[in-house]
Amino acid sequence: MNNIPRHVAIVMDGNGRWAQKRGLSRSAGHRAGVETIRNVLKTCKKLGIEVLTLFAFSTENWKRPKSEVDGLMALLVEYLKKETKELNESNVRLKIIGDISKLPMHIQQEIHNSTQLTKDNDGIVLNLAINYGGRAEILRAVKKIANDVCLGKISQQQINEELFSKYLYTHDLPDPDLIIRPSGEYRISNFLLYQMAYSELWFSKIMWPDFSSRVLLRAIKDYQKRDRRFGAV
């Protein structure tokens, strides 16, 4: 327990394939994945993990069939309406990263309501990446810095890693210690590209709906065996 990652980030992948193998719709797979969120969050709280980041919807996911995208958006609203009260009572702070301005207005309002209700909680942070892309986040930060230089708020000489980090969505969070990718894919998929410079990576063939607390503990146990030198000897 003295070597628990502060920040665990997970790419929630494999919902559609999980459903198709069972003769179900992809939407049914996404719905099954919501239950996994509850279990994983509960385990992270027990372990004292400070931040759980979940990749819920990427900037590339808009390319999926409209029916699936609409289903994901409806499921997001349903989750926020059902879970926010419990999250608040459990002292969980809900945070959203990504360009939510591209989402329908009623979804933006639900996100605002949920994050405002939980903003003062000091327990684990549930950080949902929605309409998020790592490259888009970096470009957004560059544009904001360039604008502040033009306005005279900062000088070019002040730009360093510490200042750059303040322009990211995750400016108030530690970088992820452990990034988990289920479903048998071995790629990062444009997730937290700047923040993952020294993250430990853990891959599994288990689909997200089957990703249990036991699997999470396996990942953390493996993380604890790693020698994190951050470039030193």
Kindly list the catalytic residues: 13, 61
Angle ∠(19,128,3) on CA atoms, nearest 5: 100
- Phi-psi category of residue 126: left, alpha or beta, with phi > 0 → left and psi -120 to 50 → alpha: beta
What is the b/e burial string over 46-64, where b = at least 16 CB atoms within 10 angstroms of the residue's CB? ebebbbbbbbbbbbebeeb
The amino acid at residue 82 is K
CA distance 166 to 128: 19
Instruction: Give the number of C-alpha atoms closer than 13 A to the C-alpha of residue 161, restricted to the C-beta side.
Output: 4
Q: How far apart are CA 147 and CA 155, in angstroms?
A: 11
3-state secondary structure 140-203: HHHHHHHHHHHCCCCCHHHCCHHHHHCCCCCCCCCCCCEEEECCCCCCCCCCCCCCCCCCEEEE
Quote the CA–CA distance of 154 and 225 in Å, as a whole number. 42
φ, ψ of residue 68 to 5 degrees: the values are -70, -40
